Structure 1
Amino acid sequence: MAKKVTRQVNAEIFDFSELDATEQSLVSQARQAVSNAYAPYSNFHVGSVVLLANGEKIQGSNQENAAYPSGLCAERVAIFSAGANYPDEAIVKIAIAAKPAKANDYVMASSCGNCRQAMMEYQSKQSSEIELLFVQPNDQIMKTTVRDLLPFGFDSESLLKFQP
């Protein structure tokens, strides 16, 4: 007989003004990073900021390419830059903002599957949870975690199950 498995996704919605000073700074920088996006094909601009345990903040923005698979999302630009420049520093939080080119307000744009998997890898590597801050319309911010965003994620622990 089949057994039902349920995983609950947890997230909270806050007004920007309810965030602490560090989170407000991250969200503001993610919004700023949106303007650095190179998105001539989708016209969908995304900015991201990674906060490291040492206090460093690394910005990223989506970078498109006419050969579509060659582009990279804002989250991975920031995460990979952090990993390349600060390989031993844990990622504490990531703020993500998105806005269509001609829109007046930000839209909620959850990270794609590739970005979720990349975040899961870094979370597994550092053995500590990464908090996510998604900018939504009307100055709202959704807080969640990588584990909540990817509830059936595949990480290094998953591979250990198959080791002899």
Structure 2
Amino acid sequence: MRKKIEFRSTLEVYLPKDWSEEDRNLIELAQKISKNAHAPYSDFLVGAAVLLDNGKVFAANNQENVSFPVGICAERAALSYAMANFPDSRPKKIAIFARRRHEDRIASVTPCGLCRQTINEYEVKFKSPIEVMMLSPEGHLLVANGIEQLLPFRFNDLNS
């Protein structure tokens, strides 16, 4: 017998007038820190800001390296720094902002596969979803309520 497994992903869309102050601050920080990205090869500037349950916020940007794939994405850099400093504090939200260096327009971007799997790792560790917020070119906030919405068949320890 053949069985079909389906998964439906959902993103919520928020207009700027509907953003919380907390969300606005995270997106603005991600946008600000993206300007300092080290992206001499792709000219693709990405910033990420992570909010922990203790109220601390950490931000980072992508750091490229001529020895590809040695660089690190903004999302993984921010999460790694946050978890290194506050390993017992749960990440609640991560905001992502991206644009090309010589363009004013926001780039439409979601976390890459490595970043999605990293977010999943902390969801498993803390047994709680992490809200993933991405700014769209139209200026809307796209929100995934947990990485499962972006990575439905993620790699987990199936025995746990």
TM-score (norm: length of structure 2): 0.96
Q: Give unmatched runs, 5+ long, in structure 1.
A: none
CA distance in 2 between partners of 1:16 and 1:146 (Å): 23
Aligned residues: 159
1:90 paired residue number: 90
Q: Give unmatched runs, 5+ long, in structure 2.
A: none
1:17 is paired with a residue of what secondary structure?
helix
CA distance in 1 between partners of 2:159 and 2:26 (Å): 33
2:15 paired residue number: 15
CA distance in 2 between partners of 1:154 and 1:16 (Å): 34
CA distance in 1 between partners of 2:17 and 2:35 (Å): 22
Q: How does 1:4-153 map to 2 (within 5 A)?
A: 4-144=4-144, 145-153=146-154
CA distance in 2 between partners of 1:159 and 1:66 (Å): 39
Q: Please report how far the alpha carbon of residue 4 of structure 1 lies from its aligned counterpart in structure 2 after TM superposition.
A: 1.5
Q: Deviations over 1:60-85 (max 9, x none)?
A: 10000000111000000000000101
CA distance in 2 between partners of 1:159 and 1:95 (Å): 31
CA distance in 1 between partners of 2:159 and 2:99 (Å): 37
Moved over 2 A (4+): none
CA distance in 1 between partners of 2:127 and 2:104 (Å): 39
CA distance in 2 between partners of 1:61 and 1:116 (Å): 16
Q: What fraction of aligned residue pairs are identical, expressed as a percent?
A: 36
CA distance in 2 between partners of 1:21 and 1:74 (Å): 22
Report the AA paired with residue 36 of structure 2: N
Q: Please report how far the alpha carbon of residue 154 of structure 1 lies from its aligned counterpart in structure 2 after TM superposition.
A: 1.7
CA distance in 1 between partners of 2:159 and 2:120 (Å): 13
1:155 paired residue number: 156
CA distance in 2 between partners of 1:18 and 1:102 (Å): 29
CA distance in 1 between partners of 2:61 and 2:159 (Å): 31
Q: Deviations over 1:122-152 (max 9, x none)?
A: 1100111100110111211100021111111
Kindly report the root-mean-square deviation, in angstroms, between the aligned alpha carbons of the 2 structures: 1.0
Task: From the two aligned structures, give the one with the greater helix fraction.
Answer: 1
Report the AA paired with residue 152 of structure 2: P
Q: Please report how far the alpha carbon of residue 159 of structure 1 lies from its aligned counterpart in structure 2 after TM superposition.
A: 4.2
Q: Deviations over 1:87-141 (max 9, x none)?
A: 1100000000000111112111111110000000011001111001101112111
Report the AA paired with residue 5 of structure 1: I
